[in-house]
Structure 1
């Protein structure tokens, strides 16, 4: 007979002190990255709509790289295919760490944020396809992705007193969301597949895996192998960011005797590069759309593709996340942690509608970089993400005041061991 004696899983549960401290460190880096991301996007928008817009187009279209290796790419492509591979490498590390050594190694606790991420992908796609039936259906995946850095930056500004478990939930949801997005890119946005380079990528990937499993940290060995795997995946026609996720999954999480885990080591080294350099530069190279002209704001508002993207982000994301969370909680007997309410979940679900980085990437893949519809899609992503941030900000700001008192109570450390009392009971 099944064992029903185990306690029901708790949504937004506090988790362990070690995991709470680690998540807090991650959030600090991602919050800074979100500010830089926003700065890069604003610079791109202002530049693309200024009298110097021609210099912006010249910058993103400048070609650099070895022609013999078929890597003579524009700077915009280097940002989308190269720098975002670093972003997805860190996402792969984070996801593996959560499910191998984090609080989500219990499948029952992991079920809720994973189901929420899946619901947050399915519902926006359905809404987009409903709006664009018979039209630009290739853009169905644009509103399915949540931007980790941007969403966490907004959460840090409006919700400093919100429970740490809410931040953990959003981080986990966004990382799983990114994994689903990269799977969508690999399956649905790979037009011409070259088998030989793809098979060739298995060689450096296998060597990289063999070395890291033996706890080798030498950058002069690992970086060339990682670059070779990335270049071969790029040459195969599969989007090169897939290589970043595969490399992240190859890194072992559990530590050897007497040392930190290799995943923790790499995450510590590469997360600042991802959040502080890779993602902001991608935003600078991708967010520069002209508000006027044929691809501008007025024409975007009449394009069903743009309307579907905005509705997908602002309505589809919260509907999918809340619906999947409720269904999972119902069938797994999960319950909301004491003192929290479904309105907290609603605020996070709306916040997940900020779909910046990966949404911009999928828009380029779906409609073609620089096309009129790509411009419409980017405007829709920016508008939908901004609207989601504002609505979520109102909801979470109100809840933040409620949790200030709770935060003060949970910070009590009566025995002076640097671990709050609530994590010891």
Structure 2
């Protein structure tokens, strides 16, 4: 998921990591307490709303109810946390818990406890089904979803009203709306960010809307499937080729730039996640949101994104880790985190509670509706990280003036299969 970068300074993060490494053996204190080391990502955009505050409050509450277990939390920016945890594991100093972006490599190396080892049956069963399944490797769940998001098509209400157009429900309607916006001088009728920042997300949203995806029905890479080729030929010829995506080549447009342009009023429509709501509200921009259009109507599924909690076996604190995680995933605690950062709950009970709350429903209800049927990246594949790099590097070329979608998707597919077979 795209994450907001923390406002903590590098010096503070370095000091936190030094303290973590010093205590990473998970040893007992003078009182004989077990100390669990947790490394977590920061979802805040400044020190004022850093995730450190959430984890400190949660840990204090847990420790009061569970004497004998201490929680030592280090929160790091998303730019650093995955790399830092990887280095800790490679140095033989794995934390007890890590809340980061990917789990499959560690599961494949047999370094993680399974969810069965840790969670009560009610807690594990409470995870939303698509998220729980995405956390499995060889049908065993190792990745426990911690935060989730989906995508909707955002549109500028003022621009749509002045052009006399309704939100699109199909590709042809999206194209027609973009043409009317262009005729009225809108700089970027549809923003298509296929630049290196998050091209894999925009790509997947379009693949799904075209009836395809990164993998086939049995989970094998199928990036150059006919449906996917058709999707990118349409984007190349019917959107980019007709000048409906603005002056910047999609392969050079990043998501952050597209979001900023939308909040300035320069974009008619684009795919977005809940963070864009906050950004638009701060600028006073009125917007609407609808499900992503498909070829002939609403897309059958949308893209879901999840970040993961995992527990390392190295320090042997299975019982204590299990107690803490069952506490973390209580309905109350899941709701507190989701509300703080405008993210979607990963459990059925919290999702239901949010749907029934008027304020929550008004803010995130549409995203919640999309989550149960959403499809996630193939995060269960240890090759996905490298495949994602290839998508970011090459997918923008498919819609260039001289781009060849079939050839480029075939190139990415070949590299994906090679990477998968090498694992």
TM-score (norm 1): 0.26
- Structure with the higher fraction of residues in strand conformation: 2
- Structure with the higher fraction of residues in helix conformation: 1
TM-score (norm 2): 0.26
